[in-house]
Each structure stands twice: as C-alpha cells, then as structure tokens.
Amino acid sequence: MAKNTCAICGKEVNLVTGQKLADGNYICRKVCRKKLLKCFEVVSATLDDVKEHTAQIEKGTKIWQEVLLPLKKAKKNDGKLKCLGVGNPLLYVSTTTGLVALVETRYKFMVFGKSEHACVYRLADLVQYSYEEEVVKGSDGKNEKKEFCAIMFKDTPGMYGFRLEVANSKSYQDLAKYFDTLFGIQKTLGNSFKNAKRQLNAIKAAADAVKGAASGTLTEDQASATMGALDASIYGDRTEWIKKADAALAPYNK
Ligand SMILES: [Zn+2]
C-alpha cells in the first residue's frame, strides 16, 4: 500500500488512515482530521485551508467556552443565545456580543461527557442565508427530503460557508426573518415607509454618482458613498453589530 505522511503532524499514513486534500497533500484521519468540523469539506480543501480552519476552531472553541457558553443559560433579557437549526452542528446567535457560533458536539464513546468544537463569526459578516433542499436515501432505503439554510460569511479565513440543517421550510422562513430583523432589512418591498425611503436614498446616491461619472467629477468619496448606500439597502446597517463584535473579540485578536 502506498505510504504518505500527514502534512501537519508528520505521521505516516496510507490510503485508509490518510485523507487526501485537493492539492495532493495528505492529513491523518486519527488526529488532524478530527480537529476539523465534520461539515468541513476536506476533499476540496488545500493544506492552507485546513490550517486556517484548524486555527479558526482553536480560537472559536475558546471564545465559545469563555464568552458564549455562559450566555446559553442566561435569562432571556440577559443576552440568552438564540439557537438555530436541528441536529449537529447547531448555530447560536448572540445579540449582546454580535457573535455567531457554529457548534459541533461530540459524545465520547463509553465515557460520560462531551466536547464541543466551535467556529465563531461576526454577525456583521453574514452575507447569505438562503434556502436549500436535498433528497437523500434514508436508513430505511426510502427517499427523504432534507432542508437547509446555506450560510456564508464574508472576509472570513477558514470555513466561511456551510449548510445548517433546518426542520422544515417554515423554520427556514423564521430563521431568515430573524436575521432580516437583526439587520433591519425588510424584503417585502413597498409595504414599509422606512424601507421605501432607504431604497430611494440608495437609488438617489447611485444616480448622483452616475451623473458625476458622466461629467468626469466622480470622486472616490462619492463612489464609496454610493456603494455604502447600495450595501445598506441590501444588507442593512451593520455599524452597531461590527462595534459589538469587535469589542467582544478584542481580547482574542491580540
Ligand atoms: Zn496528522
């Protein structure tokens, strides 16, 4: 059997004990693969992706244990975490810290207790939460529909996208509405004055910029104001979420 070495810990691996990465490197299944979340797509990852994800979990698990876990049991008005999804992993949202954690729980075989591994994100970086469904063969051989929320964070090293399983399309809609509300986004166009006004401001800023461009006077400031206005109409205003998250993460970003 062909032999290779784990590109992280150097242990010798073969086709069974090693996992091949997209760039041809191998990692060992016994130690180094286990440091990654199960939902991390290792087959399409390079060694650098694996290293970034490993560092992300090391840091994320620490933040989860020290900052977020205490809030899991908090009272509702005391910053209790909101839990989203079904199964494992689950997604937790903390509105007091502006952080989001994807938490995988592992139960130890024949031993009491469990361990948790987490990736922690800034809520402000959440740019996608769309619906997906997939038909899979269940254990009884029958087709079974699974429903997900496809989640993506911007400017995030490590695992920046994943699918969170949801119970059904209704719970997906509740989840999407929850995030829309946090970001002040009202997707149902036309039934809200606030929303209509925001759309108009964005369009006006864009029109001014186009005029400026035509007469050759578009400055960099105008251009970025335009992008900002358009962003706000699509993504909502996230200034407060950025502030909260950066304050919570400051001790960990040293
Ligand atoms: Zn290894």
Q: Is the pTM of this model over 0.85?
A: no
- CA 133 – ligand 1 centroid, Å: 34
CA of 53 to the centre of ligand 1 (A): 14
Output the CA–CA distances (angstroms, integers) from residue 32 to 17, 39, 158, in the order listed: 11, 15, 15
User: So what CATH class is 36-184?
Assistant: mainly beta
17 vs 29: CA distance, rounded Å: 6
Q: Are 107 and 55 in contact (CB under 8 A)?
A: no
pLDDT digits over 41-68, tens only?
Answer: 999 999 999 999 999 999 999 999 999 9
182-216 per-position pLDDT tens digit = 998 865 444 445 555 666 666 666 667 666 666 66
Q: What is the pLDDT along the chain (254 residues), one digit of tens a residue?
A: 567 999 999 999 998 999 999 999 999 999 999 999 999 999 999 999 999 999 999 999 999 999 999 999 888 888 999 999 999 999 999 999 999 999 999 987 766 788 999 999 999 999 899 999 999 888 888 899 999 999 999 999 999 999 999 999 999 999 999 999 999 886 544 444 555 566 666 666 666 766 666 666 667 777 677 666 666 767 788 999 999 999 999 999 98
Three-state DSSP state, 103: strand
* CA 9–ligand 1 middle distance (angstroms): 4
CA of 128 to the centre of ligand 1 (A): 33
Distance CA 165, CA 187 (A): 23
Cα–ligand 1 centroid distance for 6 (angstroms): 5
- The structural domains of the chain, with segments of one domain joined by +, span 1-35, 36-184, 187-236
What spacing in Å lies between the alpha carbon of 60 and ligand 1's midpoint? 20
Distance 7 CA to ligand 1 centre (A): 7
